[in-house]
């Protein structure tokens, strides 16, 4: 069988939609499946509008293919394809995804195939079974019947004028169990006219050395361009994708931020810069890689997921430096602790502040805030001591740089408070067992010579306190209406002390220009919340030319 396959290279390539030479092109293709496979991740649910917005962002990034969804699976994806077919895309081709026909259905009457055609995309990705275990146990058909299903499903779509990419589901597991049958499924897809064959590590359990060997073996047998679709169940999806490309695969599939079923898919936010910057195989062109961090954040926001700050290349911590030795070194030469220039992927270098920070770190942070200090400034050592003392009490400034800037300015005598707290009171009342508690906060503050006393209710005690403080201050500082509380976190610092333990409150606030973090620490959660809320407002009111 393998010898015959070599004789058929030219014929198969031509049936796939091009000459043998075209089929062997080394140009890499990026196939994004965030809107289909990524949408299958736990806690992710895209609306139709969400999907349209993400597709536009992916097109701006420059990916070649966007898998929009499975129109045979749900009405939402049908609506998505109805909308996007009227939209101009500059770089990307939108692809519909679905399965081969059911064994009991002829192609003309198979609902899934008809839904794929109704999506009206030029290209369709069709998945079928490559592993005998799935054929007999999942589909419940014979091995020859599965080959028939693959062949006539692809041939039918090709006859309707569609380009077909064939996803060989569970291919690597199938190949390891029965290489001859797994290759037969590919042969059937190629003979039927598939223009791409994608080798899928659907269970995510294959190791890189296995990927390399199997991809090379398949490439020797078939001239049709091959793709790789890797899942991350062993934390190998990115490595497996890159190894497959080394072996001659030309299409790499993945998702933004690696979201997807179970442990996720191959992460394009790692694959794309690795290809461009490490393997010298750029795939986006025109400096679009610099938009990668923006796209990563956009997809996380739309998916309502907390961004992974430790994510390589695009995470907040990817080029963040905390240790004094590290900070001192990167100030002399960033290459000492940074493997690339952060701006190449749209990221930035950050200097963190903590009890590990030395003089170099504090000087760098002060300069970032527009404050010039000399190395022998007496205030520098005082500030360093104050920082270490605060962190020993439980304060953490790595995620609360708004509070740190205020601490720095206060220590240097460069900050004048915008208001003074005279007192606050918070009441939580629950009148009946089946009713929601009522939270009310009263705040008394002084602005200049004016004392303001206000009250407000909220969804909880902290929310009520926030409302009361804003109500008291907005008449003096109308710009506070722009501020939104984006995140609120509480951490118990010494759990062994039970309800008497200190807590640390971290707030994330933002306006239309920036996002900042503030922190408060106390045995009383309301006092810790007040500290963080007050810092958030003080930070917003800092002079913009600071």
Kindly state whether residues 338 and 451 are assigned to the same domain: no
pLDDT tens track for 162-192: 999 999 999 999 999 999 999 999 999 999 9
Note whether 484 and 462 are within 8 A (CB).
Answer: no
In a domain, 405, yes or no: no
Q: Which residues are catalytically annotated? A: 326
Q: State what percent of residues in the chain have pLDDT above 90.
A: 68
CATH of the domain at 485: 3.30.160.270
Question: What is the C-alpha to C-alpha distance for residues 12 and 501, in angstroms, rounded to an integer?
Answer: 70
Residue 410 counted as domain residue: no
pLDDT digits (tens, 9 = 90+) for 497-518: 666 678 999 999 988 888 899 9
Q: In the prediction, which pLDDT does 330 show? A: 86
Strand 484-492 to 515-522 pairing = unpaired
Residue 299 domain-assigned (yes or no): no
Mean pLDDT rounded to a whole number for the chain: 89
Inside any domain, residue 472: yes
Q: Supply the pLDDT for residue 544.
A: 66
We report the CATH number of the domain holding residue 124 as: 3.20.20.70
Q: Are 67 and 85 in contact (CB under 8 A)?
A: no
pLDDT of residue 22: 35
CA distance 25 to 5: 19
For residue 441, give the H/E element and its range.
Answer: strand 438-447
65 shares a domain with 163:
yes
Q: Do the domain assignments include residue 217?
A: yes
Choose one of 236, 263, 285: the last residue of a domain. Answer: 285
* Domain annotation covers residue 87: yes
> How many residues are given for the chain?
546
Q: Is the pLDDT of residue 234 over 60?
A: yes
Both 257 and 342 in one domain: the answer is no
Domain count within the chain = 3
Neighbour-count burial of 389, counting CB atoms closer than 10 A to its CB (0-12 exposed, 13-18 middle, 19+ buried)? exposed
Same domain, 389 and 466: no
Angle between helices 525-540 and 461-473 (to 10 degrees): 30
The whole model's pTM is what?
0.73
Are 424 and 389 within one domain?
no
Same domain, 76 and 196: yes
Q: Does the residue 2 lie in any domain?
A: no
Are residues 336 and 440 both part of a single domain?
no
Boundaries of domain holding 48: 30-285
Residue 345 lies in a domain: yes
Collect all residues with Cβ–Cβ distance below 8 Å to 385 and sequence separation of at least 6: none
Choice between 481 and 495, residue whose per-residue pLDDT is larger:
481
| Structure confidence at residue 362 as a pLDDT band (50, 70, 90) | confident
Judge if 453 and 363 occupy the same domain: no
Q: What is the pLDDT of residues 239-291, one digit of tens each?
A: 999 999 999 999 999 999 999 999 999 999 999 999 999 999 989 977 899 99
Q: Which of 227, 259, 285 is the last residue of a domain?
A: 285
* Long-range residue pairs from 213-221, CB within 8 A, at least 24 positions apart, any chain: 214/172, 214/175, 214/176, 215/243, 215/244, 215/247, 215/248, 215/249, 216/247, 216/248, 217/179, 218/183, 218/186, 219/247, 219/248, 219/249, 220/6, 221/2, 221/5, 221/6, 221/183, 221/186
252 and 136 fall within a common domain: yes
What pairing do the DSSP bridges indicate for beta strands 93-99 and 196-201? unpaired
- Indicate whether 355 and 440 sit together in one domain: no
Q: What is the pLDDT of residue 2?
A: 37
pLDDT of 403 higher than 60: yes
> pLDDT (tens digit, 9 = 90+) per residue, 9-62?
333 333 333 333 333 335 899 999 999 999 999 999 999 999 999 999 999 999
What pLDDT, on a 0 to 100 scale, did the predictor assign at position 500?
67
Which segment of 120-129, 144-153, 221-230, 389-398 scores lowest on mean pLDDT? Answer: 389-398
Instruction: Say yes or no: 165 and 224 in one domain.
Output: yes
């Amino acid at each position: 069988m393998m010898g015959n396959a070599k004789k058929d290279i030219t014929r198969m390539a031509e049936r796939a939609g091009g000459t043998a030479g075209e089929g062997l092109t080394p140009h890499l293709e990026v196939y994004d499946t965030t809107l289909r496979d990524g949408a299958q991740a736990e806690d992710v649910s895209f609306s139709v509008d969400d999907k349209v917005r993400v597709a536009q962002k992916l097109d701006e990034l420059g990916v070649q293919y966007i898998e929009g969804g499975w129109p045979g699976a749900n009405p939402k994806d049908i609506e998505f394809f109805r909308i996007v077919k009227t939209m101009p895309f500059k770089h990307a081709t939108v692809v519909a995804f679905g399965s081969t026909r059911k064994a009991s259905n002829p192609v003309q009457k198979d609902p899934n195939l008809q839904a794929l055609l109704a999506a009206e995309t030029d290209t369709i990705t069709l998945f079928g079974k490559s592993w005998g275990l799935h054929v007999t146990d999942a589909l419940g058909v014979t091995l020859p019947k599965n080959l028939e299903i693959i062949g006539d499903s692809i041939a039918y779509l090709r006859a309707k004028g569609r380009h077909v990419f064939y996803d060989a589901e569970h291919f690597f597991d199938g190949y390891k169990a029965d290489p001859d049958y797994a290759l037969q499924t590919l042969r059937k897809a190629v003979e039927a006219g598939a223009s791409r064959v994608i080798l899928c590590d659907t269970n995510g359990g294959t190791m890189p050395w296995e990927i390399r060997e199997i991809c090379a073996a398949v490439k020797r047998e078939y001239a049709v361009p091959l793709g790789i679709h890797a899942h991350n169940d062993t934390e190998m999806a990115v490595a497996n994708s890159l190894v497959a490309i080394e072996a001659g695969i030309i299409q790499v599939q993945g998702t933004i931020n690696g979201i997807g079923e179970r442990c996720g898919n191959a992460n394009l936010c790692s694959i794309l810069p690795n290809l461009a910057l490490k393997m010298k195989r750029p795939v986006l062109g025109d400096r679009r890689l610099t938009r990668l961090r923006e796209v990563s954040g956009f997809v996380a926001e739309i998916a309502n997921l907390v961004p992974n700050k430790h994510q390589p290349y695009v995470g907040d911590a990817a080029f963040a430096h905390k240790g004094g030795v590290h900070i001192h070194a990167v100030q002399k030469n960033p290459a000492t602790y940074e493997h690339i220039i952060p701006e190449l992927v749209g990221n930035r270098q950050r200097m963190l502040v903590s009890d590990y920070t030395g003089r170099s770190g504090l000087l760098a942070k002060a300069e970032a805030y527009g404050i010039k200090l000399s190395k022998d400034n007496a205030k520098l050592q005082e500030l360093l001591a104050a920082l270490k003392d605060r962190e020993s009490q439980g304060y953490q400034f790595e995620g609360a740089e708004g509070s740190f800037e205020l601490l720095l300015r206060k220590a240097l005598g460069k900050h004048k408070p915008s208001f003074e707290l005279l007192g606050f009171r918070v009441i939580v009342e629950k009148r009946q067992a089946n009713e929601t508690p009522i939270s009310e906060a009263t705040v008394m503050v002084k602005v200049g010579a004016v004392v303001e006393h206000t009250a407000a209710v909220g969804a909880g005690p902290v929310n009520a306190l926030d409302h009361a403080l804003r109500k008291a201050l907005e008449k003096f500082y109308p710009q506070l209406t722009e501020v939104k509380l984006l995140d609120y976190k509480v951490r118990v610092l010494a759990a062994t002390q039970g309800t008497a333990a200190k807590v640390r409150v971290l707030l994330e606030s933002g306006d239309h220009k920036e996002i900042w973090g503030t922190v408060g620490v106390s045995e009383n959660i309301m006092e810790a919340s007040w500290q963080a809320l007050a810092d958030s407002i003080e930070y917003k009111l800092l002079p913009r030319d600071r």
